[in-house]
Amino acid sequence: MIAALSLGLFVGIVLGVVGGGGSIIAVPALVYGVGMSPAEAIPTSLLVVGISSLAALLPRLREGINWPVVLMVGAAGIPAAWGGTAAGRLLDPNILMLAFAVIMVIAGIRMLIRTTETEGSCSTGPNRAFRSCAPKAVGVGVLVGFLTGLLGVGGGFLITPALTLFLGLSMKQAVGSSLAIIVINSAAGFGAHATGFTIDWPHVLAFTVPAILGSLLAARLARHLNDKHIRISFAVLIFAVAAWVTTGTVTA
């Protein structure tokens, strides 16, 4: 229970600062820190991260959310999340955790690459062109939705770079929009996993309440932090967790 409280707080802080990435920490934390199996950790992570992301989204509403992009990416992700869930049930849990570690390394490298903030076809500026934006937004939604169902990740660690690099959103708008998409993806992924799953409410609440508090506090503090330092710190963190997950899986 103490592990759930402390790890939940940590996940919330990551969500509030980075606008994503909480679930990539939550699944290993629930498996290796709390002692859940991957089958229990994935839907629990989706529930916790979805609620925490909603809390982290509230302080950012005034900074602007690109709702057309959120709806396109989110809608494409819902059926993809169900497909990812079906694929995950066919795979060995150890393979899933190793796949998780690979995704984390990719995410860490992605965070270290400087993102540009030029307007693109999906921006809210004068260059907006949703006819060319829609295929890109749907592609991002399908990829992130599938990973959500397969690995129990909300996808924020991939969504934020994708929104800036491929869709042309500013970093501030991308972070808020990412949180809104995570809420949609987490709800879809949890719905896909909910059949036959019994929620362990004591651990869920012990993880969720600190996560919400941490995300609200961190979202306010993030406005005063340097974006470059945030990206580097997060990348180092997920590299370390990827090594932890790989070691734990191989030696299990």
Judged against a pLDDT cut of 80, whether residue 183 lies above it is answered with: yes
Whether 72 shows a pLDDT value over 50: the answer reads: yes
Q: What is the pTM of this model?
A: 0.74
d(CA 35, CA 21): 21
Q: Which of 23-37, 60-74, 209-223 has the highest mean pLDDT?
A: 60-74
Amino acid identity, position 105: V
Q: For residue 56, what pLDDT band results from cuts at 50, 70 and 90?
A: confident
Banded model confidence at residue 115, pLDDT cuts 50, 70, 90: low
User: Does the structure show a pLDDT above 60 at 245?
Assistant: yes
pLDDT at residue 151 is higher than 60: yes
pLDDT averaged over the chain? 78
pLDDT at 135 over 60: yes
Flag whether pLDDT at 44 surpasses 80: yes
Cβ atoms of residues 46 and 193 within 8 Å = yes
CA dihedral 17, 161, 141, 129 (to 10 degrees): 120
Which band of pLDDT confidence, cut at 50, 70 and 90, is reported for residue 130?
A: low
In angstroms, what CA-CA distances link 22 with 83, 122, 134, 138, 167?
22, 25, 27, 23, 22
Q: How far apart are CA 28 and CA 203, in angstroms?
A: 15
The predicted structure's pLDDT at residue 126: 47
Question: Which residue in 203, 214, 216, 202 sits closest to 9, CA to CA?
Answer: 214
**Which are the contacts of 34, defined by CB distance < 8 A and separation ≥ 6?**
3, 4, 7, 41, 203, 207
Write out pLDDT tens, residues 229-244: 777 777 787 788 788 7
